[in-house]
Amino acid sequence: MYLDEQLVVLDKPAGLLAVPGRGEDKQDCLSARAQALWPDALVVHRLDMATSGLFVMGRSLHVQRLLSRAFAERSVQKRYEAVVAGDLGLAGTRGVIDLPLAADWPHRPLQKVDPDQGRPSSTRWEVLARLPGATRLGLEPVTGRTHQLRVHLQAIGHPILGDALYAPAEVQALAPRLLLHATSLQLAHPATGEPLAFVSAAPF
User: Dihedrals φ, ψ of 147, to 5°?
Assistant: 60, 20
Neighbours of 110 (CB within 10 A): 15
Neighbours of 20 (CB within 10 A): 14
State residue 190's pLDDT score.
94
Give the helix ranges, DSSP H, for the chain. Answer: 30-37, 61-72, 148-155, 169-172
CATH level 3 topology of 2-75: Pseudouridine synthase (3.30.2350)
Provide the annotated active-site residues. Answer: 48
Domain coordinates of the chain in residue numbers?
A: 2-75, 79-180
Give pLDDT tens digits for 144-161.
Answer: 999 999 999 999 999 999
Which CATH superfamily hosts domain 79-180? Pseudouridine synthase (3.30.2350.10)
Q: What residue ranges of the chain have pLDDT lower than 50?
A: none
State residue 90's pLDDT score.
84
Q: Which of 199, 203, 155 is nearest to 179 (CA)?
A: 203
Domains 2-75 and 79-180 share a fold: yes
Give pLDDT tens digits for 108-131.
Answer: 889 999 999 999 999 999 999 999
